[in-house]
Structure 1
Amino acid sequence: MKKESKVFGIYPVIEALKANKTLDKLYVQKDIQNPKIQSIINDAETLSITINEVPIEKLNRLTKGNHQGIVAIISPISFPPFEDTVETILATKETPLFVVLDQISDVRNFGAILRTAECTGVDAVIIQKKGGAPVSGDTVKTSAGAIFNIPICKVDHIKDAIFYLQGSGITTVAATEKSGSYLYDLDLKKPLALIMGSEGRGISKSVLSIVDKSASIPLLGTINSLNVSVACGTFLYEVIRQRNH
């Protein structure tokens, strides 16, 4: 199974870029002054690669080698273009199902969501280029390999992706405990995009303001929210239940 690998040091990272490797994230030492690293950053920005400025301690934890202030994560997968993927799915599926992740940051949650998405026939997962969990070897492991069986599209802004889906006839539903409606009250048989929020903040207010519908899951205990991967599974299996009855 192909897993994520790390490339560290100035010249190895330059070579990885030249070889058109799919870099998922670039970690750069905070406040480092090096023209070659700045040149790498410029190239990475052109390619919309996520760049994180981090303390040197973070780089030391990522690798035991001489990182020279820069570490790149090579993704185990490639990311198909968002709009092309949506159009292809719409041309072949009457009731497509998408999952949109609004900055899920935990790798294990991300992997678990991918595993459930694959098992429930989700057609594509959409993530933002910046701010989310890396597509790493841990994601591969937690997803039980599902990451290789489902398209994952990266977009600059989640809001723009939602507008595009809506314009394509897809109903967008936000999973949020703030909703006064339960997911069981919604018609989930139509073409659908389910939006899940980050572990700490949930779905951002700007995203909530543009979705077609929102829904919550009944919570009967004292804790006021579910783990995001569990919540996503609950929503997806309600979609399956409705579509098969």
Structure 2
Amino acid sequence: MVTEKIFGIHAVQAVLARSPERVVNLYVQNGRADKRLKDVLSLASSSSTSVTQRSREELDKMVEGRHQGVIALVEPAPEFREQDLPDLVAAAGSAALILVLDGVTDPHNLGACLRSADAAGVTAVIAPKDNSVGLGATVFKVACGAADVVPFIQVTNLVRSLQLMQQAGIWVVGMAGEADASLYERDLSGPIALVMGAEGAGMRRLTRENCDYLAKLPMAGSVSSLNVSVATGVCLFEVVRQRQSS
């Protein structure tokens, strides 16, 4: 059986609450009896999940990162594939909101982007298979459960995926600091694919050329750009604001 490890209170709590059937075993730190861990154990008990006590040192050896005294051994979540995208877009209709991450390589940033995507009601998150990070333990921990519920699709050809979305009636908006118009000047009320570039380098040339238009976040300070996960949250909730106002 292929399994993966999810660790951290929020991430483990989320998978126990949403998909307890995926949890093969739960490892918890000996001697911990605080309320947050009790809540996790209560979820495990209600779903008859097997629980194993381990010392902190043993848990430290199981994963890299702060496990907060709890690690879940789980079956992988159902994978979304490139061919699933048209059905997801069709089901969302005029409310389609696609987040495209062009070359994000930091798992902490991907996890934070997925968390914002879940909160904003994103239809799917798209990323290229090459030169970008995929789902993993750190992503699951930072995403706090969002990685289990937001469709995440890695595609072999990002430009082709953008073109397919355009053919389906989705406007592709690329975020770039050199854009003439602010994001707040753009109409984001219809079906939108929001493209965020990689940390530092931004969007690749072909990705930029296949956007319907570019937009920027106005920057008043001396720093020229925001962290990609912070910028993603700001941009997604501008879409949410416009749609609630329309």
TM-score, reference length from structure 2? 0.68
Instruction: Tell me whether 1:101 sits opposite 2:101 in the alignment.
Output: yes
Post-superposition shift, 1:228? 0.4
Which aligned pairs between 1:6-25 and structure 2 lie closer than 5 A? none
Post-superposition shift, 1:218? 0.7
| Root-mean-square deviation (Å) | 2.3
Alignment-mate amino acid for residue 208 of structure 1: R
Alignment-mate amino acid for residue 99 of structure 2: V
Q: Distance in 1 between matches of 2:154 and 2:116?
A: 19
Match of 1:174 in 2: 174
Match of 2:140 in 1: 140
Ranges in structure 1 where 5+ consecutive residues have no aligned partner: 6-61, 64-73
Match of 1:234 in 2: 234
Match of 1:12 in 2: none
Q: Distance in 1 between matches of 2:113 and 2:128?
A: 15
Distance 1:105 1:3, change over 3 A: farther
Distance 1:168 1:161, change over 3 A: same
Instruction: Tell me whether 1:79 sits opposite 2:79 in the alignment.
Output: yes
Q: Deviations over 1:37-62 (max 9, x none)?
A: xxxxxxxxxxxxxxxxxxxxxxxxx9
Alignment-mate amino acid for residue 100 of structure 1: V
Which aligned pairs between 1:119-130 and structure 2 lie closer than 5 A? 119-130=119-130
Instruction: Tell me whether 1:223 sits opposite 2:217 in the alignment.
Output: no
Match of 2:159 in 1: 159
Q: Distance in 1 between matches of 2:77 and 2:143?
A: 13
Match of 1:93, SS state, is: helix
Q: Deviations over 1:181-210 (max 9, x none)?
A: 100010000100000110021001111111
Post-superposition shift, 1:166? 0.6
Q: Distance in 2 between matches of 1:229 and 1:3?
A: 28
Match of 2:189, SS state, is: coil
- Which one has a larger percent helix, Structure 1 or Structure 2? 2
CA contact (8 A) 2:88 2:124 kept: no
Match of 1:214, SS state, is: strand
Instruction: Tell me whether 1:196 sits opposite 2:196 in the alignment.
Output: yes
CA contact (8 A) 2:88 2:123 kept: no
Post-superposition shift, 1:3? 7.6
Q: Distance in 2 between matches of 1:168 and 1:158?
A: 15
Ranges in structure 2 where 5+ consecutive residues have no aligned partner: 6-61, 64-73
TM-score, reference length from structure 1? 0.68
Q: Distance in 1 between matches of 2:137 and 2:3?
A: 5
CA contact (8 A) 1:171 1:191 kept: yes
Match of 2:111 in 1: 111
